[in-house]
Amino acid sequence: MKPIEVSLFGATGLIGELILEILVNDVYFDKINVLTRNSFPSNNKKVHLHIIDFSDTKMISKIIQKSSLVFASIGTTQKKVKGDKEAYRKIDYDIIVNIAKACKKNNVKNFSFVSSSGADLNSNSFYLNLKGEIEDSVLGLKLPSTSVFRPSLLLGKRSENRFVEKIAQLIMPIISFLMPSIYKPIEAKYVAKSMVNISKKTIPGSKIYHYNEIINSLY
């Protein structure tokens, strides 16, 4: 199988870092465009780093134009935006939807992105409502193939300190057997591997992946 070119958004995040590691070590991928706001070290010849302004839609489209697959694991926290919901939206909604539009323009074979368990346009939760709105907007573009990943609490070591999340990572796995499967905590490395595995299949249309589907795709 001929190696292909791919693009990755969010390579400095928990899932993004793991996706990049998988892509680098998989001969299936020949060139990896990493689009990021901040530089980071990478000596791998497959990795092509692009420092960009994520509001620059023309640049996004230009960089991914030869990519067969595009991955996005982008998000923020209320703490980072100091509770500013409009700033939160510009990161979570605008960036993902702009990437999806660029995928549409360039006829990208598959767009895979991270959402959240419980994402719902009708939710009273700002976070879950926004995630539902993002999904609705992206799926409305009717890309050739869209994969939406809805993990619950992510297990794994983050570079940033999230105290409440650390406590949850200790407690949730203990009581996870009591939860519906879609809300079970999951290792970030499993989500990353699932995203790469499923992207290779390029399943036509759109599909949402929860805990069970993510785990089943690993084998």
Instruction: Write the CATH number of the domain with boundaries 4-216.
Output: 3.40.50.720
Alpha-helix runs per DSSP H in the chain = 14-24, 57-64, 85-89, 95-105, 126-139, 163-175, 188-201, 211-216
- Confidence label for 156 from pLDDT (cuts 50, 70 and 90): confident
pLDDT digits (tens, 9 = 90+) for 88-127: 898 899 999 999 999 999 999 999 999 999 999 999 999 9
- Confidence label for 196 from pLDDT (cuts 50, 70 and 90): very high
User: What's the mean pLDDT in 47-59?
Assistant: 95
- The DSSP H or E segment spanning 48 is strand 47-51
The b-or-e profile of 20-42 (16+ CB within 10 A means b, else e) is bebbeeeeebebbbbbbeeeeee
Minimal CA–CA distance to 64: which of 98, 89, 115, 91? 98
Residue 178 has pLDDT above 60, yes or no: no
Residue 157 has pLDDT above 80, yes or no: no
pTM of the model: 0.88
142: number of CA atoms within 13 Å, CB side?
0
Interior angle at CA 88, CA 96 and CA 60, nearest 5: 30
Single-letter amino acid code for the residue at 32? I
CA distance 34 to 2: 21
Per-residue model confidence (pLDDT) at position 76: 75
Three-state secondary-structure class, residue 205: strand
- Domain segments of the chain as ranges: 4-216
